Every structure is written in C-alpha cells, then in structure tokens.
Amino acid sequence: MSFYEFISKNPSIIKPFALFGTSHILALTTVIFFITVFTNLSNKYERVHKFYKAFLLIALPVQEITFRLWDCFYQDLRFESLLSLHLCSIAIFLCIIILVKYNQSMFEILFFWGLGGATQALLTPDISIYGFPHFRFFQVFLSHGLIIATIIYFLLVEDKRVRKGSLKRVLINTNIYALFVFFINSIFKTNYLFINHKPYTPSLIDLLGPWPFYIIWLELIMIVVFTLLYMPVLYVEKHAVKEELEASS
C-alpha cells in the first residue's frame, strides 16, 4: 500500500470500515489494553506516571494538528477543517488544558462529554470509507482513546473526583453550549452537534424522526447517558458519608 493510499480522500484499495469487524474489535482491544496497562504502571512507578502524563499532553495536540492538516490539504479547505465545535473536539482541548493546569469544573465537563461522547465514537465511529489501515482509521481511535485515557488517568492516578451536583451543572452548560453552536451553525452554514439538520451520511439519528423532533430525543438520550455516568459518583458519595458516620459513632 502506498503512502498516498494511506492519506487519500477516496482510497481505492483500502476497504470501507466494517462496524465490529476484525479491525474494529482489535482497535477497541488495543485502546482498552493501553489504558489498563499504563494506568496500572503509573500507580506503581513514578517514572511511568510522569512519562504517561507527558505522553498524553504531547499526543493529544499532535494528533489533532495532524488531522486538521490532513483535512485541509487532503480533503477540502473549509471552516470545519480548521475548527470543530463537536463535543469530542472540545473535550480534546479540555484534556490539554487540565493536563497543563488542573481545573475541577473543566474536569467535570470532560468527564461527562468525554466518557459519553468518546465511548460512543469508539463503538460506532463515523469513518465510512476509511477502514484499516487508513490514516483516518488510526486517528479516530487514537483521538477518542486519548480522551478516555486522560479521564481515567485523572480518576485513578491523580485521584480526582466528580463533585456532587455536577450532573445538573453540566446538563445546563451543555444546553447553553448547544444553543451557542446552533447560532454558529446558522451563521457559517455548519452542522456541529447535528442540531441544525441530520447528518448527510446514514446514522442512528435517522431513527429519531425529522428535525427538530429528533433534537428532543437527543436531549433525552444525553440525560440518560449522563445520569448513568453520574450514578457511580452518587454511590461513592453515599459510601463516603456512611463511613464518616460509622467512624464518628
């Protein structure tokens, strides 16, 4: 396979991406293995801890810049090629910021946006014609895998926690952000978050009815997913309170 085929806009040799095909399963397995190994080693060895954090801080912007260059020069130079307002794209910037200087509010947004969005993107990636071993195939799994890796790093290595009440705050902030994005879409004729119209390529959104009714379903799905992510937080909080009561009695 040539390098041109590897970065091509319309690959002719590489087969289209197959959902839960062999390459998809191997990619998911690799992401899980990588996160598990480096999280465990970071907790045992300080040198690995420092290396892992530095790796995340370098890999996140490098892969994002590389993708933007590919999208601009090997795709079409357009507004979306230079900037993305999708949740996972913003999550990458949040990862970089808190790796440089930790911020609790940003981490809580990243927790919900990253785990909710990146997990879905790994399970059902929207890469259609870009199967293994195309550049886009590797970039999608690398970028979303790094988001989840960063969140797990802060949870299990840095011992950070999501505060009680964060679900309500993030839901409000997400809807405010979605309203902002709706106006940006209207001005620049973009479709970030898919709130101005359905994606042109087939997707699960097609099952949710016409615009704007599918947005209501997306809102409900978001509430359910974020609530499921928040349930362990409530369990930990309840368990901590119980331990404090037992210790004081």
pLDDT value at 117 more than 80? yes
How far apart, in whole angstroms, are the C-alpha atoms of residue 137 and residue 204?
Answer: 20
Question: Among 89-93, 151-155, 207-211, whose mean pLDDT is lowest?
Answer: 207-211
CB atoms within 10 A of CB 2: 8
Q: Note if the bond before 202 is cis, omega within 30 degrees.
A: no
Kindly report the backbone phi and psi dihedral angles of residue 68, in degrees, each rounded to the nearest multiple of 5, phi listed first: -60, -40
Q: How far is CA 217 from CA 127, 206, 225, in A?
A: 24, 11, 12
> In terms of Cα–Cα distance, which of 242, 51, 86, 58 is closest to 178?
86
Mean of pLDDT values over 39-67:
96
pLDDT value at 201 more than 80? no
> In terms of Cα–Cα distance, which of 201, 200, 184 is closest to 192?
184
pLDDT value at 103 more than 70? yes
Work out the percent of the chain whose per-residue pLDDT is above 90: 60
| Residue 169 confidence (pLDDT) | 94
pTM for the whole structure: 0.90
* Contacts (Cβ under 8 Å, ≥6 apart) of 248: none
How far apart, in whole angstroms, are the C-alpha atoms of residue 230 and residue 56?
Answer: 25
| Residue 19 confidence (pLDDT) | 86
pLDDT value at 70 more than 70? yes
Pull the structure tokens for residue 123.
């399970």
**Contact indicator for 198, 211 with CB cutoff of 8 Å:** yes
| Residue 244 confidence (pLDDT) | 56
How far apart, in whole angstroms, are the C-alpha atoms of residue 106 and residue 95?
Answer: 9
